[in-house]
Amino acid sequence: MLNIGGLKNGIVLDHIKAGKSMDIYKYLKLDKLDCQVAIIKNARSNKMGRKDILKIEGDLDVVDLDVLGYIDCNITVNIIKDEKIVEKKTLELPQKLTNVIKCKNPRCITSIEQELPHIFFLADEEKRVYRCAYCEEKHK
């Protein structure tokens, strides 16, 4: 049973690979938000041995599920209302990523026109290959 102690309304990200919670904190830009965030590192897990958990106060829209799915689609998203889990979401690889990863091709238009958004499309789901929407460069 997941301990959501102290969280009235918010989101609990469970089954984060141990040690990855800070990456997710950074990717989701949680440092820019005013809401309460709790990071639990190296929690014991039957399934994974060790895992990290992130508890975020607030609405689901503070969390970009596409970004999370891109980082690790094994993360479980628990939605908490009135201290109860009301919904569990599973993640999948997003078809499109906007301003999450950057194109490294020096000839790509995004490196010339700095204000363009960096857009990538999922080109191969099995191999998790994303390609730049402008120059089709593969993201590594």
Sites of contact with Zn ion (CB under 5 A): 103, 105, 108, 132, 134-135, 137
Nearest to Zn ion of 91, 130 (CB atom): 130
| Residue closer to Zn ion (CB basis): 98 or 105 | 105
* Residue 42 backbone zone (phi > 0: left; psi -120 to 50: alpha; other: beta): left
Give the list of residues 6+ apart from residue 12 with CB closer than 8 angstroms, or none.
2, 4, 53, 54, 55, 56, 77, 78, 80, 85
Distance CA(55)–CA(39), nearest Å, equals: 6
Distance in Å, CB of 140 to Zn ion, minimum: 13
- Least Å distance, CB 134 to Zn ion, is 5
Q: Pick the closer one to Zn ion by CB: 26 or 104.
A: 104
Distance in Å, CB of 136 to Zn ion, minimum: 7
